């Protein structure tokens, strides 16, 4: 996983900032919610710029909101760790807000027409429909990468670092895609990036399923063997 290689670097940057929150009334949960607010703002700005065909430079608002959301996504965990406020509910809230954030931004891309295939692939009157379909498949991929990991970890499978891509990488791709849309408008860059992202997300889900299968199969085989032995006695 690409982001794991950068996590030590980000921790060295985030942890000193997180230390400043000791004794503050700003809890990690509040930071998580602020991060979701920034992602909603990024989604709305993306949808407005694309839907009304405004200048691509207005997407600078989107890049700013995406950057702030990414910082909040790193900061909430850092604050929870260094201030001793890490809770089980905080993990549930963080995961839930991440899923909402994914959905909102994909909706923003869809309604901003950024996922519409170019005219040489499909006719213009069908482009939005195919953009919705692509967004829906992408949303499934985003949810399944997270769901398979969570479900496997419930069964005791270590999933850290398994798979090509997860949410951190998705945010980076979204950020890079929007920047490229600003620099090179009209080239369907986000469509192609998102198409690659969709493939990577579903590959990641299957990688995690395979990893869970390899880990759990010996345990299941042993349990079934014991069951057969008890039945034969």
The third-level CATH classification (topology) of the domain covering 2-232 is: 1.20.120
Of 98, 102, 220, 221, catalytic: 98
Domains of the chain, residue spans? 2-232
pLDDT reported for residue 187 = 93
Question: What 3-state class would DSSP assign to 71?
Answer: helix
Clarify whether 98 is annotated catalytic. Answer: yes
Q: In terms of residues, how long is the chain?
A: 233
**pLDDT value, residue 59:** 97
What confidence score (pLDDT) does residue 10 get?
Answer: 65
CB neighbour class for 99 (10 Å; exposed up to 12, middle 13-18, buried from 19): middle
Structure confidence at residue 208 (pLDDT): 95
Query: Tens digit of pLDDT per residue, the chain (233 long)?
Result: 445 556 666 666 777 777 777 777 778 899 999 999 999 999 999 999 999 999 999 999 999 999 999 989 888 888 888 778 888 899 899 999 999 999 999 999 999 999 999 989 999 899 999 999 999 999 999 999 999 999 999 999 988 888 888 888 899 999 999 999 999 999 999 999 999 999 999 999 999 999 999 999 999 888 888 877 777 76
CA angle 112, 74, 27 (to 5 degrees): 105
- What's this model's pTM, rounded to 2 decimal places? 0.89
pLDDT, position 109: 97
The answer to whether 72 and 21 are in contact (CB under 8 A) is no
């Amino acid at each position: 996983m690409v982001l794991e290689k950068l996590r030590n670097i980000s921790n060295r940057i985030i942890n000193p900032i997180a230390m400043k929150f000791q004794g503050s009334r700003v809890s990690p949960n509040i930071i998580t919610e602020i991060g979701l607010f920034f992602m909603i703002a990024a989604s709305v700005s993306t949808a407005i710029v694309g839907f009304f065909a405004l200048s691509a430079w207005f997407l600078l608002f989107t890049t700013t909101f995406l950057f702030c959301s990414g910082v909040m996504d790193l900061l909430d965990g850092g604050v929870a760790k260094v201030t001793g406020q890490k809770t089980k509910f905080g993990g549930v809230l963080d995961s839930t807000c991440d899923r909402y954030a994914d959905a909102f931004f994909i909706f923003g891309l869809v309604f901003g027409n950024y996922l519409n295939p170019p005219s040489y692939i499909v006719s213009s009157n069908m482009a939005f429909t195919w953009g919705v379909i692509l967004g829906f498949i992408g949303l499934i991929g985003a949810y399944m990468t997270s769901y398979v990991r969570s479900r496997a970890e419930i069964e005791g499978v270590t999933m850290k670092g398994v798979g090509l891509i997860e949410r951190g990488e998705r945010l980076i791709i979204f950020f890079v895609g929007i920047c490229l849309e600003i620099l090179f408008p009209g080239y369907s860059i986000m469509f192609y990036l998102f198409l690659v992202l969709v493939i990577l997300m579903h590959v990641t889900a299957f990688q995690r399923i395979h990893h869970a299968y390899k880990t759990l199969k010996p345990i299941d085989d042993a349990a079934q063997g014991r069951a057969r032995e008890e039945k034969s006695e």
